[in-house]
Amino acid sequence: MSFLQLEFAWPWVFLCTVLPVISYLFISPARESNQNALLFPFTQMLASMQADSVSKSSALLKWLGILAWLLLVIAAARPQWVGDSIQVPVSGRSLMLAVDISGSMENEDMVINRRAVDRLTAVKSVAGEFIEKREGDYLGLILFGSKAYLQSPLSYDRKTIRILLNEAVTRLAGENTAIGDAIGLAIKRLKKQPQQNRVLVLLTDGANTAGSIEPLKAADLAASESIKIYTIGVGDDSVRSSGIFGLRLRKSDLDESTLKAIASKTGGQFFRARDIAELQQIYQILDEIEPVTDENQSFRPITELYQWPLAMAFMLALIITGLRRKQHG
- pLDDT of 326 > 50? The answer is yes
> Quick check: is 72 in a domain?
yes
The string of pLDDT tens digits covering residues 18-45 is 888 888 788 776 665 555 554 444 444 4
Task: Determine, yes or no, domain membership for 41.
Answer: no
**Mean pLDDT, range 306-318, rounded to an integer:** 92
Kindly state whether residues 58 and 148 are assigned to the same domain. no
Q: Are residues 305 and 293 in the same domain?
A: no
Whether 43 is covered by a domain: the verdict is no
Residue 270 domain-assigned?
Answer: yes
> Mean pLDDT, to the nearest integer, of 218-224?
96
Specify whether 228 is located in the same domain as 317: no
Q: How many domains does the chain have?
A: 2
| 237 lies in the same domain as 276 | yes
* pLDDT of amino acid 1: 47
* Res 13: pLDDT: 92
- Backbone angle region of 195, left / alpha / beta, with phi > 0 → left and psi within -120 to 50 → alpha: alpha
State pLDDT tens for residues 87-137: 655 556 789 999 999 988 988 878 888 888 888 998 898 888 888 888 778
Q: DSSP of 111-142, one letter per residue?
A: EETTEEE-HHHHHHHHHHHHHHH-TT-EEEEE
- Asked whether residue 166 falls in the same domain as residue 306, the answer is no
- Residue 31, in any domain of the structure: no
When computed from its CA atoms, the radius of gyration of the chain, rounded to whole angstroms, is: 34
- The residue segments making up the domain with residue 59 are 3-26+53-83+300-328
For residues 191 and 274, membership in a common domain is answered with yes
Pair (97, 166) in one structural domain: yes
pTM above 0.85, yes or no: no
pLDDT exceeds cutoff 50 at 198: yes
Tell me if 42 is assigned to some domain: no
Which amino acid does the sequence have at 114?
R
The answer, yes or no, to whether residue 185 has pLDDT greater than 50, is yes
For residues 95 and 208, membership in a common domain is answered with yes
Q: Are residues 252 and 317 in the same domain?
A: no
How far apart are alpha carbons 100 and 273 in whole angstroms? 14
Q: Within this chain, do residues 181 and 224 fall inside the same structural domain, yes or no? A: yes
| pLDDT at residue 56, rounded to an integer | 65
Percent of the chain with pLDDT over 90: 39
Same domain, 233 and 159: yes
Residue 285 lies in a domain: yes
**pLDDT higher than 60, residue 246:** no
Give the per-residue SS3 of 228-290. Answer: EEEEEEECCCEEEEEECCEEEEEECCCCHHHHHHHHHHHCCCEEEECCHHHHHHHHHHHHHHC
For the segment 266-294, what is each residue's pLDDT rounded down to a tens digit? 999 999 988 888 888 888 888 777 765 55
Q: Using alpha carbons, select from 156, 228, 222, 221 the residue that is nearest to residue 196.
A: 228
Percent of the chain whose pLDDT exceeds 70 = 79
Query: Is 282 within a domain?
Result: yes
How far is Cα 152 from Cα 167, in angstroms, rounded to an integer? 12
Q: What is the pLDDT of residues 155-166, one digit of tens each?
A: 888 899 999 999
Helix axes 276-289, 119-133, angle to 10 degrees: 30
Query: Which positions ≥6 away from 83 have C-beta within 8 Å?
Result: 5, 300, 301, 302, 303
Same domain for 17 and 101, yes or no, is no
Q: What is the pLDDT of residue 2?
A: 53
**Over the range 165-200, which residues count as b (16 or more CB within 10 Å of their CB) and which as e?**
beebebeebbebbbbbbbbbbbbebbbebeeebbbb
Residue 173 is part of a domain; what is its CATH number? 3.40.50.410
At 296 the three-state DSSP class reads strand
pLDDT band, very low/low/confident/very high, at 232 (cuts 50, 70, 90)? very high
